[in-house]
Structure formats: structure tokens, C-alpha cells
Amino acid sequence: GCGESTDFAKKERAPQPQEPRRSLSPQQLKKPTSINRMRSVTTAAAFLGVSSPNSERKGGTERKQAPETKPLTERKMATERGGGAAAEAGGNKGWKVKAEQMAQERRARAQKKIFAVPIEECVDRPTRPDAPRFIPWLVFDIVTYMEKHAMDLEGLFRLAGEKQLIDEWKKKVNEGEKLNFEELNNPHCAADLLKIWFRSLPEPIVTARLYPRFMTVGTLSSEELQVKYLAALIAALNEPNKSALIYLIRFLRNLTTNSEVNKMTPENVGTCVGPNILFEKGTDPSALFSNFESVIQIISRMIEYFDDIFMKEDVMPLKTYMVKSNHTPPEDEKDGLKLTENDIVHVFARDEKKIKAYGECNGKFGWFPHVLVKKTETW
């Protein structure tokens, strides 16, 4: 029985005859099978970023179709376009920020600027604690320096300083830098810088409104009347013009007291400094020569009669009136003033009884009855 069993086991373990393997023809090898086709489609779809038909249904289970996406090249182009737009937007934003910064810097420089700006703006900015009121810091610093070190210097304001150095100082001052004139120690350049500051004002320190009146001072017949008229004109100035002019003329008067040493007489000072104080707004500097003699005379009078012009408290400021009716003075009245209705009269003196007034009309001076005029704001 055992032999049979062993034989039976051998029979069971005997290899089964296999079906002979079929060989494929070259045409069949080149032709892709259905599985290969499916794999190829799936791989291409994954590479291109699109869904394949096979991904919609697999193993009998239905799947949701993936959202359609753009091909790789289109996605790349869109990304580049989006990045470019973002960069452009960022660039525009950066440019706007930079433009605003530049505008702020310009405003800051304008606030520091002291040349060629109205004097009202100069005195509104921080100045020296010990500086008088209404005096720009640059004027105060230069005058203080020259009072200490240059009052005996010959030719101050007459001898010119070095232009390149003056331009450099002016640039620094306009950028907000406070110069130490004692360390710089160049009085001629400092004097020129002071003249340039007054000359660079948008209108003269005596104002464009009163400048024509100043130019008529020389037509008055006596020094006494000239002094009274100048006092009335100064009294009519507003601040800070009035204080700045008084501060400058006081310094010039002190300078002339030592004219035997420094050679700066009132006439010389008027010649060198006057055109920077008395000039017509917007005129070319060469046009100053037409009024040059008058300018010298006016500055000389201011220096020589400083106390009478600037320090008296009972001075009547220049007032403006309009003529109500025609007036012809009597033939025996030497100083009478002829008036025509609607003329403008600038009055700066009255008699004790206040019956007559003394003033200027159309470049001529004289007395006239005060009742013939009325107040007006017209200049």
C-alpha cells in the first residue's frame, strides 16, 4: 500500500504540461496594447496638467472630474504676466513714496531758506535767544560779528569779498546751516552776505508801497522837512520791516562814527549799502543808477539824523487822503499846495491848530486846508 501511495504522490507532483508560448510578430510588438495606451494617455495628461479619461472612472467607482487647468505654457505665461503686474504695481507704489519723500525734502528746504523769501517768513523761524524781536538770525549774527571785529576795518562794505566763498556761505545758510562768523573770520565776505540778503528780499525793506514816497524826499526844500518826512515814512512801516531797518541803520551809524579810521562816511555808506535797501521791486540792478543820488542822500539823512527819524515817539505816521474839491493857494502863500479833486495827498505834518496840513501830491509838497481832504485807503 505504501508503494502505491508514493507513486500516487509522485503523480500528483508531476508538472502539468504547459501551453506553448506564442511568439509575437514584429508588427504586433510595434502596436501598443490597450494597457499601454491607457498608461500613455495618463502620463501625458499628468504632464500637461489635464484630466485623463481614465481618471474619471476607475475600478467601477465614479470619481469627480478634476477642475480643468491650463497647459503648462499658458500657466507660465499667466504667472509671468501676474508677476509683472505685481512688480509694476510695486514699482508705482515705490515711486509714489519716493516722490512724496522728495516733496517733503523740498518743503523742509523751503522752510530753512532765508534768501529771496519775505522777511515775515524769516522772523517766524527759530532765531538766536538773545536776538532782538523781528530781526532775522542771519542779520543779527553778521552785525554782532562785525560790531566786535570790523568797526575799524577800512573799506567795510566798500571792498568786495571773494565771490566763490560768498556763494558757498549763501548755499549753506539756505540749507539751514548756522555759520560761525567768528571762526570764518572774513568781515568783507560777511558784509557782502548782509547786503545780498537785503537785496534778495522780494520787495525792499521799505516796502514797494512806500518806495515811491521815499524817492521824493530829495525834492523837499530843507533838511528839516526831509527829516520829518522820513520819520513819517518810517512810522508808517509795519513790522518786521520797521525793526529790521532800524537795527541796520543803527549799526551803520555806529560804523560811521569811526570814519576817520575805516573811511566809511555817511555818504560812502549810502553809496555802498543804499541800493540794497532802496530799490524798486522787480527792476534790474542797473536801473538803480537813475535814482542813485536820491538813495545816497536818503541813507545819509537816516544816519545823520537817526534819533530824530527813528527814536521820536510823537511822530505822525504818513497818512493818505483824497482831495474833495479843487484848491489853488493864494499868490502870497509861498508854500501852498495846489490840489485837484480826487487827487491823492500824503500828509505827514499839521500846524498847531490842525487847520492846515503839510503833505505831498503829485511829487510836490506844500500846505493846504485840512478840510479839503478826506481819509482814503488808496495809495
In the listed set 286, 311, 336, which residue is the last one of a domain according to the structure? 311
- Residue 103 pLDDT: 61
- Model pLDDT for residues 290-313, shown as the tens digit of each residue: 789 999 999 999 999 999 999 998
d(CA 179, CA 156) in angstroms, rounded, equals 20
Residue 367 CB contacts under 8 Å (≥ 6 apart), including other chains: 329, 333, 335, 336, 337, 351, 356, 357, 358
CB 347 within 8 A of CB 357: yes
Question: pLDDT per residue over 51-62, tens digit each?
Answer: 555 544 444 444
2 has pLDDT over 50: no
CB 318 within 8 A of CB 236: yes
Residues 175 and 288 grouped into a single domain: yes
- Across the chain, mean pLDDT equals 80
Query: What distance in Å separates the CA atoms of residue 99 and residue 110, rounded to the nearest whole number?
Result: 16
Q: Are residues 220 and 331 in the same domain?
A: no
Please tell me the least confidently modeled range out of 5-14, 206-215, 229-238. Answer: 5-14
Residue 45 confidence (pLDDT): 47
Spatial separation of the C-alpha atoms in residues 105 and 120, rounded to whole Å: 22
Asked if residue 274 lies in contact with residue 299, where contact means CB atoms within 8 angstroms, the answer is yes
- pLDDT(3) > 60: no
* Same domain for 346 and 305: no
pLDDT (tens digit, 9 = 90+) per residue, 82-104? 555 555 555 666 776 776 666 65
Number of domains within the chain: 2
Residue 23: pLDDT over 80: no
Question: Quick one: average pLDDT of 135-159?
Answer: 95
Which residue, 26, 72, 25, 75, is CA-closest to 49?
A: 72
With the C-alpha atoms ordered 43, 46, 47, 51, is the resulting torsion angle positive or negative?
positive
For the cut 80, the answer to whether the pLDDT of residue 258 exceeds it is yes
Q: What's the average model confidence in pLDDT over 16-29? A: 56
- pLDDT tops 60 at residue 79: no
Residues 304 and 325 in one domain: no
Is residue 154 a part of any domain in this protein? yes
Q: Is residue 99 part of a domain?
A: no
What is the structure's pLDDT at 136? 92
In this structure, the chain runs to a length of 379
> Would strands 364-369 and 57-58 be described as parallel, antiparallel, or unpaired?
unpaired
Residue 31: is its pLDDT beyond 80? no
Residue at which a domain ends, from 259, 291, 311: 311
Last residue of a domain, one of 280, 311, 342: 311
